[in-house]
């Protein structure tokens, strides 16, 4: 499995979830265990570019998959535009939901760019409007109630995220590095 650009060869109990492998085996504790039942979104990561709740996925079924966690969103020392926007909007209080919110926002904005409609999509098609973001990220709960700032951050970062995705599409992918686990 490739995680944040590094290849990991793992021998696993077939009951291990992706979340437990990330946290307990690979030391990537950004994704959080909130409910462990697929209901809070705190464990959200990107799997082959799509957002998933990692507490509901068995890791043995992900052989050869590409996973990106919150630790992999920044580009070296440069924060992802959504991370910058969360800081600028003060879009957290305790921060427990934040890694999941960030990964979910990356996935939600990608879905909008691809034109995938959601329940709040109007006649103009999917756009990163507050209503669209609220609906698409309704599976990510924030116990502190930072929702207004989270929505502002995601809507505000959408153009920069789109530009980053466009630039990445023009750059040839680099080979995965490392071997661990
Ligand atoms: S911990 Fe996975 S959805 Fe809550
Ligand atoms: S900032 Fe505390 S749960 Fe979201």
Ligand nearest to the CA of 39: 1
The fold adopted by the segment(s) 2-73+173-180 is Ubiquitin-like (UB roll) (3.10.20)
Q: Give pLDDT tens digits for 35-55.
A: 999 999 999 999 999 999 999
The number of residues in the chain equals 181
* Short-list 100, 112, 125, 116, CA closest to 157: 112
- CA pair distance 68, 175, nearest whole angstrom: 15
Q: Give pLDDT tens digits for 70-124.
A: 999 999 899 999 999 999 999 999 999 999 999 999 999 999 999 999 999 999 8
The fold adopted by the segment(s) 81-170 is DNA polymerase; domain 1 (1.10.150)
| The pLDDT of residue 169 | 84
Name which residue sits closest to atom 3 of ligand 1, judged by CA.
38
β-pairing, 66-68 with 2-3? Answer: parallel
* Averaged pLDDT of the chain: 94
Give 173's pLDDT tier (boundaries 50, 70, 90). low
How large is the average pLDDT for residues 14-30? 98
| The pLDDT of residue 153 | 98
| The pLDDT of residue 124 | 87
Tokens encoding 128: 């990163």
Q: 147 C-alpha vs ligand 2 centroid, how far in Å?
A: 9
Q: 2 C-alpha vs ligand 2 centroid, how far in Å?
A: 29
Please check the confidence at residue 179 and state whether its pLDDT lies above 60. no
Mutate to test the pocket of ligand 2, among 70, 140, 144, 145 (most ligand atoms within 8 A of CB): 144
Q: 141 C-alpha vs ligand 2 centroid, how far in Å?
A: 8
| The pLDDT of residue 86 | 98
Tokens encoding 158: 């959408």
Give 28's pLDDT tier (boundaries 50, 70, 90). very high
**Sequence-distant contacts of 80-87: CB under 8 A, at least 24 apart:** 80/106, 80/161, 80/164, 81/157, 81/160, 81/161, 81/164, 82/106, 82/109, 82/153, 82/154, 82/157, 82/161, 84/157, 84/160, 85/153, 85/154, 85/156, 85/157, 85/160, 86/149, 86/150, 86/153
* Short-list 145, 163, 8, CA closest to 72: 8
How do the domains of the chain map onto residue ranges?
A: 2-73+173-180, 81-170
Across 122-126, 147-151, 163-167, 168-172, least confident range: 168-172
- CA pair distance 92, 22, nearest whole angstrom: 23
Nearest atom in ligand 1 to the alpha carbon of residue 39 is 3
């Amino acid at each position: 499995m490739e995680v944040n650009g590094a290849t990991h060869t793992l021998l696993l109990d077939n009951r291990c979830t992706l979340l437990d492998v990330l946290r307990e085996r690979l030391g990537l504790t950004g994704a959080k265990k909130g409910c462990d039942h697929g209901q809070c979104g705190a464990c959200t990561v990107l799997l082959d570019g799509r957002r998933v709740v990692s507490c509901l996925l068995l890791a043995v079924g992900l052989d050869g998959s590409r996973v990106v966690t919150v630790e992999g969103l920044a580009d070296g020392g440069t924060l992802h535009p959504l991370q910058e926007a969360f800081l600028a909007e003060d879009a957290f209080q305790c921060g427990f939901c934040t890694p999941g919110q960030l990964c979910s926002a990356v996935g939600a904005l990608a879905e909008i760019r691809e034109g995938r409609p959601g329940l709040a999509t109007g006649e103009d098609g999917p756009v990163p409007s507050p209503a669209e973001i609220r609906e698409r990220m309704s599976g990510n709960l924030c116990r502190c109630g930072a929702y207004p700032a989270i929505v502002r951050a995601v809507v505000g970062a959408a153009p920069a995220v789109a530009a980053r995705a466009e630039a990445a599409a023009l750059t040839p992918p680099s080979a995965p590095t490392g071997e661990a686990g």
